[in-house]
Amino acid sequence: MTETNDLLKKVIESVIGGDEAAAEALARQALEQKMDPLQVINEGYVVGIKQVGDLFECGELFLPELIQAAEAVKKATELLNSAITGGAESSKGKVLIATVEGDIHDIGKAIVVSLLVANGFNVLDLGRDVPTLDIIAKAEEFKADVIGTSALLTTTMVKQKELEETLVKEGLKSKYKTIVGGAPVTVRWAEKIGADAYAENAGEGVNKIIKLISGS
């Protein structure tokens, strides 16, 4: 038990330190010691990335460190996921994410993607400047549970409204949960356009998506 706890503690430290090599080595060590991969993910890597998210939120860790930590988690969890029975992925759900058409900003979205992947979601990142119809077509193809869109400009946030309207028009609204974010976007905007959720920052985005998928 102590051995397991020690390893989990080291896993958390490796994630907070953004130490990719250590995070990967610890994943291998856990597999060699026949530890439950899901336990290592949930009690080690996910705990670590949540702490990184909290430190980022408090302004004690910054974007480069956040990305390093997310990369460390991604590589290690890939290893552990492949060891889970039959190699099946332990995805918490499928999230399609995009910056809307006309908007080329994607740093914030990249943070959300990193945190979602690190938290065990299967994420399809369509990048930036993505037309509404492309978002819907890819969501259908990917069989997404959640569609997340980001807009950094008041002139492009109307595309989030267009997405909601198009989903309703095509009879697809009930098929997906939608979440919106971006600097000019507010909870009132989300309510106004009919989005299912609004997230002010990356950490909140992950929590809201977990709630959307669990239906709570």
Partner 1 sequence: MIVTRMGDGSFIKMSEEEVKADIEAGVEDAVKRGKIEPLTAAEIDYLVDICCRPQKFVSVQQGNELILTYDSGTLKITRLGIPIGMPQIMQIYERAFAADTLELAYVHYSFKPIKMIVPEEQYAVAETSLVTTAPLFYGAMPNLPLYTQPDGPCPNAAELLPAGKIAEARAAQEEAVEYAVKDMVFVGSGVYEAGADGIDFDTTAAAGDAEFQATLLACEQLRAKYPDMAIEIGMAGEFVLGFHGQLEYDGVRLAGLYPHQQVKLAEKAGASIFGAVVNTNSSRTFPWNLGRAVTFCKACVEAAKIPVHANVGMGVGAVPLVMTPPIDCVSRASTAMAEVGKLDGL
Stretch that binds partner 1, among 5-13, 116-124, 133-141, 186-194 (CB under 8 A): 186-194
What is the closest distance, in whole angstroms, from the C-beta atom of residue 36 to partner 1 in the complex?
29
Site string for partner 1, 45-64 (x = CB under 8 A): -------------xxxxxxx
Neighbours of 62 (CB within 10 A): 10
Task: Annotate 125-144 with DSSP letters as a single string.
Answer: E--SSB-HHHHHHHHHHHT-
Q: Which is nearer to partner 1, 43 or 65 (CB)?
A: 65
CA-CA-CA-CA dihedral for 90, 93, 94, 95, to nearest 10 = -120
Which of 82, 83, 71 lies closest to 118 in space, CA to CA? 71
What is the closest distance, in whole angstroms, from the C-beta atom of residue 58 to partner 1 in the complex?
7
- The answer for residues whose C-beta is within 8 angstroms of residue 9's C-beta and 6 or more apart is none
What is the Cα–Cα distance from 12 to 28, expressed in whole angstroms? 15
What is the closest distance, in whole angstroms, from the C-beta atom of residue 28 to partner 1 in the complex?
21
Quick check: 187 binds partner 1 (CB under 8 A)? Answer: yes
Q: Which is nearer to partner 1, 43 or 71 (CB)?
A: 71
Stretch that binds partner 1, among 22-30, 137-145, 167-175, 179-187 (CB under 8 A): 179-187
Q: Which is nearer to partner 1, 40 or 61 (CB)?
A: 61
Q: Which is nearer to partner 1, 58 or 88 (CB)?
A: 58
Site for partner 1 in 112-171 (CB under 8 A): none
Stretch that binds partner 1, among 27-35, 92-100, 103-111, 201-209 (CB under 8 A): 103-111
Contact 117, 123 (CB under 8 A): yes
Task: Annotate 179-211 with DSSP letters as a single string.
Answer: EEESTT--HHHHHHHT-SEE-SSHHHHHHHHHH
Which helix (H) or strand (E) segment holds residue 16: the answer is helix 2-16
If binding means CB under 8 A, how many residues of this protein chain bind partner 1?
19
Quick check: 110 binds partner 1 (CB under 8 A)? Answer: yes
Which of 188, 94, 90 lies closest to 140 in space, CA to CA? 94
Name the site residues for partner 1 (rule: CB under 8 A). Answer: 58-65, 67-68, 71, 106-107, 110, 184, 186-188, 200
